[in-house]
Amino acid sequence: MNALTHSSEDDLIFLDELEAYETSPIVKTSSTWRIMIIDDDPDVHSATTFALGSLEIQSRALSFLHAYSAAEARDILENESDIAIILLDVVMEQEDAGLQLVSYVRKTLGMADVRIILRTGQPGYAPEIDAIRDYDINDYKTKSELTRTKLYTAVTSAIRSYEQICAISTSRRALELIIKASTELLALQGLQNFATGVLQQIISLLANQTEGFVCTKQVLDETTNEINELTIIAASNGFSDYLNQSINEATNATIQASLHQAIQARHHLYQSESTVLYFGNIKNQDLTVYLNTGLHLNELDKRLLEVFCSNISVGLDNVMLTSSLHNYAFYDPLTGLSNRLKLLQTLNETLDSPLKQGTVLSLIDIDHFAETNDALGHQFGDLLLCAVAQRLVNIFGNDCQLARVGSDTFALMGKETRVSPDAILALFSLPFDVDNQVVQLSATIGLVKLMDCDGDGSEAFKNTNIALKRAKTHHRSGYAYFTRDMGVEIRERVRMMHKLRSAFENEHLFLVFQPQVDMRTGQALGAEALIRWKTEEGEFIPPDQFIPIAEYSGLIVNIGEWVLRSACFELVHLRSCGYTNFQMAVNVSQAQFSHPLFMQTLHRALHDSKAPPDCIELEITESMAMEDPDLLIKTLHQIKQLGIRVSIDDFGTGFSSLSHLQKLDVDKLKIDRAFVNEIKDSSGDGSIAKMVVQLGQSLNMEIIAEGVETTMQAETLLSFGCHLAQGYLYSRPMAKEDLYAWLKTKSLP
């Protein structure tokens, strides 16, 4: 369902783009662009902050405000100002909660500057054109379209527009004109209409003092990618004879040169006699506007045009989208099945009828579809989806409701006797024959009995999604029925996430340090930094409980950066106290590690603290090593180039193969404390620990044992050839003051 979270292909593009955008070194300024995320799905919040979190636009970082319902959003908006963008979910408490909120923002609160980007789970939820026009909605996207790259582009362009609007808000009237113009344009369908509209609006913006035309380069033939000359697709009166002609035929060399210059530079061109506005390349269309302005435009006119353009570039992208969306308000264009909107209607009707008793709603999510799509191509992926849809129709079409509700998610609703996990899974038992290829698919299913639902259709839908997510995390290729406990659990997790966020912001998190010792000499070689959270009520929440929530919500990226920096600064302080060989080990989560700005974070921590890289050790877990081997190898390589050391934590609990390990450039293996714990008395032999030690030795890696609690364990480990350890036998994790006191009792290394 949630396409924001799985777009690994896009992430790579994103990286490239990042480099292009971030040409200037990051300069922290005091103010940030404030972005408000309003969405009832915490995943969307985390995915968004994760995607945008550390980005800077024009040297200003982004900061986020979060609301999980329209009601919460109202409370926040009443008290906040300077919000640049609202990223708004259309469907929340009610189907139109999002649009009602927009009306509240624009009309009741009178906030005209803030840019609004609407997001919705499904195409069927396109807002009415009237709404777009009346409420000055900047942009409209389905969530599946908002991959990282697109999100970033949409946000960047909205911020530019916001900035310009703020800059000229003195000229209110002109601004209103632009906003009216751009929203009217959003309603136009088809490129030619759009171009004509753009031209009309520009001419009226410039008080009818100008003539001009719009031209594009168009792809004539998709297969050969043949591109035509610049063609005039819209023209004002003075140029109307040249409509649909190439500029080579219609215009003189000077005009042609100006157009080419603007396109090449990808920029507007202001000349003494004329102006060329460049609208960027959108969907293979290089939209360019030539204006016979006659004299140099004044600064205000230029600014107005620029605001207009930045609003329009987004509009252009939407022209095609919005028009097709409205044609398909209720049906999925690919498979011809109902879409989510239609399903919700039927669902609401069923919930209100006696049929509720005995009806089951299920969501069927195809496993690894994204990978299949990437491997075999999108066209093939589409065919595959159609094949699945067809099979669903064949088997359930007569007496059940079917819909496609996400890129690779189908909904099926019907009598309990029909809609069962067995019946659905049976559908996937035979392979699919698509385009002469045989593909075996599997699916994960979330189900809900409508009798277990209290609210309306969207509530029931949400519950099914919760069950689906549960089925995915607990057993692939399986299924789960929604239970009321699941709802409670999710709410609890969201509550904890809020608490954690404010604990982090209010500096209620801190680090403790657990020494790592050489068992032969008893000397401390270094320490592992471990995070602690003490709540306002004085309760300690163990990291095993809150780290997963931090990871799930994306908060780990910021928290992890803070841990890293604090640990580096502490290391430098320790060195200044004479512990010059001290090593500091820092835990790093998968989400941090795979974040596109992780290396920058690392650089910055080293640079700001002046910590020597070879005294810093990052602990990654073995399961991370399995997740995305290619990314891991690449990132490890970059880390090693910085001189930072890497160890594999909890070693032995994952599934690393020897060959896999050999490929990884790591310095140390950390034997998981479960295996140390096995060394109990003479009968518990610790054979796994022994094996890990031998493995490490054969790969020339250092070995450290964690969770060493008894001298017996220490001696056994020493006899295996493992010399380094960490554990209660030597010391518990300590506050930094206690660490210094503890170190004093040892001789200086």
Using the contact rule CB under 6 A, the part of the chain among 246-254, 292-300, 686-694, 721-729 near ligand C2E is: 721-729
Question: Among residues 175, 503, 649, 652, which is the contact residue for Ca ion, using CB under 5 A?
Answer: 649
- For residues 355 and 688, which CB has a smaller minimum distance to ligand C2E in the complex? 688
- For residues 686 and 707, which CB has a smaller minimum distance to ligand C2E in the complex? 707
CB of 305 to ligand C2E, least distance (A): 49
The sheet carrying 409-415 orders its strands as: 401-406, 409-415, 359-366, 443-449, 479-481
- For residues 181 and 547, which CB has a smaller minimum distance to ligand C2E in the complex? 547
CA distance 477 to 458: 25
Please name the residue that has the structure tokens 């170190």.
743
Footprint (CB under 5 A) of Ca ion, residues 148-187: none
- For residues 409 and 587, which CB has a smaller minimum distance to Ca ion in the complex? 587
Using the contact rule CB under 5 A, the part of the chain among 208-216, 320-328, 480-488, 619-627 near Ca ion is: 619-627
Footprint (CB under 5 A) of Ca ion, residues 570-599: 587
CB of 671 to ligand C2E, least distance (A): 11
Q: Does 727 bind ligand C2E (CB under 6 A)?
A: yes
CB of 621 to ligand C2E, least distance (A): 7
* Concatenated DSSP letters of 596-630: TTHHHHHHHHHHHHT--GGGEEEEEEHHHHHH-HH
CA distance 334 to 407: 10
- For residues 41 and 650, which CB has a smaller minimum distance to Ca ion in the complex? 650
- Spell out the residues 6+ positions from residue 579 whose beta carbon is closer than 8 angstroms to its own: 743, 748, 749
C-alpha distances (whole Å) from 534 to each of 241, 498, 509 are: 75, 15, 7
Footprint (CB under 6 A) of ligand C2E, residues 338-357: none
Using the contact rule CB under 5 A, the part of the chain among 110-118, 406-414, 618-626, 694-702 near Ca ion is: 618-626
CA-angle at 271, arms to 265 and 277, nearest 5°: 50
Confirm if 446 and 466 have CB atoms less than 8 A apart. Answer: yes
Q: Tally helices (H) and strands (E) across the chain.
A: 28, 27
CB of 472 to ligand C2E, least distance (A): 23
Please name the residue that has the structure tokens 């399986």.
478
Helical segments of 206-298, H only: 247-250, 253-265
> Residue 426: how many CB atoms within 10 A of its CB?
11
Report the partner that residue 547 touches, choosing among ligand C2E, Ca ion, none (CB closer than 5 to 8 A by kind). Answer: ligand C2E
Give the pair of three-digit tokens for residue 466.
């919760």
Report the partner that residue 733 touches, choosing among Ca ion, ligand C2E, none (CB closer than 5 to 8 A by kind). Answer: ligand C2E
- For residue 87, what is the enclosing H or E element? strand 83-89
- For residues 487 and 543, which CB has a smaller minimum distance to Ca ion in the complex? 543
CB of 547 to Ca ion, least distance (A): 11
Q: Are strands 226-235 and 269-270 parallel, antiparallel or unpaired?
A: unpaired
- For residues 114 and 527, which CB has a smaller minimum distance to ligand C2E in the complex? 527
CB of 706 to Ca ion, least distance (A): 5
- For residues 7 and 558, which CB has a smaller minimum distance to ligand C2E in the complex? 558
CB of 432 to Ca ion, least distance (A): 43
CB of 532 to Ca ion, least distance (A): 14
Report the partner that residue 514 touches, choosing among ligand C2E, Ca ion, none (CB closer than 5 to 8 A by kind). Answer: ligand C2E
- For residues 117 and 550, which CB has a smaller minimum distance to Ca ion in the complex? 550
- For residues 408 and 619, which CB has a smaller minimum distance to Ca ion in the complex? 619
**Residue 748 main-chain phi, psi, to 5 deg:** -60, 140
Question: Among residues 38, 650, 656, 716, which is the contact residue for Ca ion, using CB under 5 A?
Answer: 650
- Spell out the residues 6+ positions from residue 701 whose beta carbon is closer than 8 angstroms to its own: 666, 667, 668, 669
Confirm if 697 and 721 have CB atoms less than 8 A apart. Answer: yes
- For residues 136 and 650, which CB has a smaller minimum distance to Ca ion in the complex? 650
CA distance 723 to 523: 11
CB of 421 to ligand C2E, least distance (A): 34
**Residue 290 main-chain phi, psi, to 5 deg:** -105, 130
CB of 631 to ligand C2E, least distance (A): 17
Q: Mark residues 553-592: x for contact with ligand C2E by CB under 6 A, - for none.
A: -------x--x-----------------------x-x---
CB of 585 to ligand C2E, least distance (A): 9
CA distance 392 to 394: 5
- For residues 71 and 735, which CB has a smaller minimum distance to ligand C2E in the complex? 735
Q: Does 516 bind ligand C2E (CB under 6 A)?
A: no
Q: Mark residues 467-486: x for contact with ligand C2E by CB under 6 A, - for none.
A: --------------------
Question: Among residues 316, 619, 636, 704, which is the contact residue for Ca ion, using CB under 5 A?
Answer: 619
CB of 582 to ligand C2E, least distance (A): 18
Report the partner that residue 622 touches, choosing among Ca ion, ligand C2E, none (CB closer than 5 to 8 A by kind). Answer: none
Residue 144 C-alpha from the chain's centroid: 11
- For residues 554 and 707, which CB has a smaller minimum distance to ligand C2E in the complex? 707
Query: Among 90, 81, 97, 147, which Cα is nearest to 116's?
Result: 90
CB of 650 to Ca ion, least distance (A): 4
Q: What is the 3-state secondary structure (H, E, C) of 355-396?
A: HHCCEEEEEEEECCHHHHHHHHCHHHHHHHHHHHHHHHHHHH
Q: Mark residues 669-708: x for contact with ligand C2E by CB under 6 A, - for none.
A: ----x--------------------------------xxx
Provide the sign of the torsion angle of the four alpha carbons 695, 697, 700, 702, taken in this order.
Answer: positive
3-state secondary structure of 706: strand
The helix-helix angle for 299-327 and 148-167 (nearest 10°) equals 140
CB of 686 to Ca ion, least distance (A): 17
CA distance 142 to 119: 5
The helix-helix angle for 378-396 and 369-376 (nearest 10°) equals 130
Query: Residue 438 pairs with which residues in a beta bridge?
Result: 433
- For residues 320 and 530, which CB has a smaller minimum distance to Ca ion in the complex? 530
- For residues 132 and 591, which CB has a smaller minimum distance to ligand C2E in the complex? 591
Q: How many residues bind ligand C2E (CB under 6 A)?
A: 23
CB of 621 to Ca ion, least distance (A): 8
- For residues 538 and 542, which CB has a smaller minimum distance to ligand C2E in the complex? 542
Q: Which long-range contacts (CB under 8 A, 24 or more apart) does 497-502 make?
A: 497/42, 497/549, 497/552, 497/553, 497/555, 499/535, 500/533, 500/546, 500/549, 500/550, 500/553, 500/555, 501/553, 501/555
Q: Mark residues 204-243: x for contact with ligand C2E by CB under 6 A, - for none.
A: ----------------------------------------
CB of 706 to ligand C2E, least distance (A): 6
Q: Does 722 bind ligand C2E (CB under 6 A)?
A: no
Question: Among residues 649, 666, 703, 739, which is the contact residue for ligand C2E, using CB under 6 A?
Answer: 649
Sites of contact with ligand C2E (CB under 6 A): 514, 530-531, 542-544, 547, 560, 563, 587, 589, 619, 649-650, 673, 706-709, 726-728, 733
Sites of contact with Ca ion (CB under 5 A): 587, 619, 649-650
